[in-house]
Structure 1
């Protein structure tokens, strides 16, 4: 079925291009403008075929995604039972990706840095173990993968972070949509561990929790962002008061 759909879309694209070339032959004096128009329309066509969200994104500009974190079904009961959300926001077609990481489930005294990565498959059929390795479309060494987010240290049992300029994207053939996010038990050694695994996964250890990235709405992003930045402003204000006193 997929092969038939692919063949249909390829045929559609060829017909589309053929139509425009026939228009060029009929209007050869306006070739530069026609070629620019073709380039734009063909790009839009392929973007919509590669990932449907791109077509919708042209109208709404800002695209949002959500990943609902749950403990791995294969995780031992004594390990941290991490839940929460990882949110994304990006402007179509080439804006920088932003993320909000909002996780709970660590003990109050837990100060172990944890690695967070995007993994290749959105498959949770065998807990987080089914998500495969790191999402690595460019076939480069760790920590150069687009979903190598680095390390996050819980504070009072929570991880709350907002990051901009993430290397990954929600658009095109290397979209992170439908892939998995995994939080690991250990710290990412960022490729400096001195062994082969360091350049593959950062020796980050057991997979505690995971989720699959899907399209979301802006309401949750806005409320979470306001909560995060509001708390940060309050902490800064209290710090300024203490210094002034």
Structure 2
């Protein structure tokens, strides 16, 4: 098992022994379009925030949970409120309305290629505007991947709001040498207990969330890992291979 995965599992196991509020709560809504007697949360591989684009006609839909923002060539910007949704493991669908009508968006976790630039995308999407014909498009999170052969503008520096020392609680912050649960984040490195990752790529995927790819080394092993970092007030949430853990910010 890679070292960063072992560290994440160990931190998760230790987190289970403390207050329940330390674990980040699920952030996926129950499917409103399918009422049940006992609603359940679906862990979807399609995020609640992403962008869908189509070509000929050229549309762009920015999806931010309960709000969809539609723009297009020779058309006014529209902001629509979500009135219905469906959530599945590999897909999400939204229905949103404004005073001009209704749009529907369906996004599936399946590779897609922009049919004009050839740029790869992570999601396949369809868009229906005011009951007209459905248009096929692609979806992406954050900064889209560039067309083949073009350099990516993605930076390799972690933003300032993520920088600092993070640990389980105030006591662990006061005695960092006695804790194996601390995390130190610098602009170019991620430090865990007995392992350090040198940042190679940073992708913004929201105002307080980034995806970091780092080359790790620890205890004679080397590996590369991609992790998601999210700041929630004074708490940092790190997700490795779908497994989250969180730490509070320590005083400088």
What TM-score do the two structures reach when normalised by structure 2?
A: 0.24
Ranked by relative contact order (alpha carbons within 8 Å, sequence separation 6 or more), the top structure is: 1
The structure that is helix-richer by fraction is 1
What TM-score do the two structures reach when normalised by structure 1?
A: 0.24
Larger Rg: 1
